[in-house]
């Protein structure tokens, strides 16, 4: 599976951005897609996860990190093999490189990662 993240950029605090993650290759094997972020000097942080496959029995389930709940929305379009992260009410502390990743099993291991896209929120 190959992942291509895009949509990052510079935005003012309070603004919005939508990130995309295009998947290719063996997309039929994907169970979950997640977004993570890493700010300079900080550890990688979980942002959100969406169920990709109906095989999981909970196709529309979503989970969010506490710091983004109520502001970010994760979604996916299986027909386009693309996941999205809609980010609203952005704060300077949301500044980070955002990565998408996928799980192909219920183990919790994200096996494949995109290259990352930089989001910068100015105050």
17: confidence class by pLDDT, cuts 50, 70, 90: very high
Q: Residue 107: is its pLDDT beyond 90?
A: no
- pLDDT of res. 106: 77
Is residue 84 classed exposed, middle or buried when 0-12, 13-18 and 19+ CB atoms within 10 A define those classes? buried
> How are beta strands 117-122 and 9-12 bridged, if at all?
parallel
DSSP class of residue 82 equals: E
Q: Please determine, for residue 43, whether its predicted confidence score (pLDDT) is greater than 90.
A: yes
Tell me which of 114 and 55 has the higher pLDDT: 114
What is the model's pLDDT at position 81?
Answer: 95
Mean pLDDT on 84-108: 95
**Both structure tokens of 56:** 């999981």
Task: Report yes or no: 4 and 114 within 8 Å, Cβ to Cβ.
Answer: yes
Q: What is the pLDDT of residue 69?
A: 97
How large is the average pLDDT for residues 47-67? 87
Q: ∠24-87-29 over CA atoms, to 5°?
A: 25
């Amino acid at each position: 599976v190959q992942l291509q993240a895009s949509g990052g950029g510079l935005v003012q605090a309070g603004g919005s951005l939508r990130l995309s993650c295009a998947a290719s290759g063996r997309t039929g094997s994907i169970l979950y897609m997640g977004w993570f972020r890493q700010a300079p000097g900080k550890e990688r942080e979980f942002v959100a996860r969406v169920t990709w496959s109906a095989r999981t029995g909970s196709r529309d389930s979503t989970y969010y990190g506490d710091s983004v709940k109520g502001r970010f929305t994760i979604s996916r379009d299986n027909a386009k093999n693309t996941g999205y992260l809609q980010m609203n009410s952005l704060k300077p502390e949301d500044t980070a490189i955002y990565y998408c990743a996928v799980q192909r099993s219920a183990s919790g291991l994200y096996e494949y990662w995109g290259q990352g896209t930089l989001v910068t929120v100015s105050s």
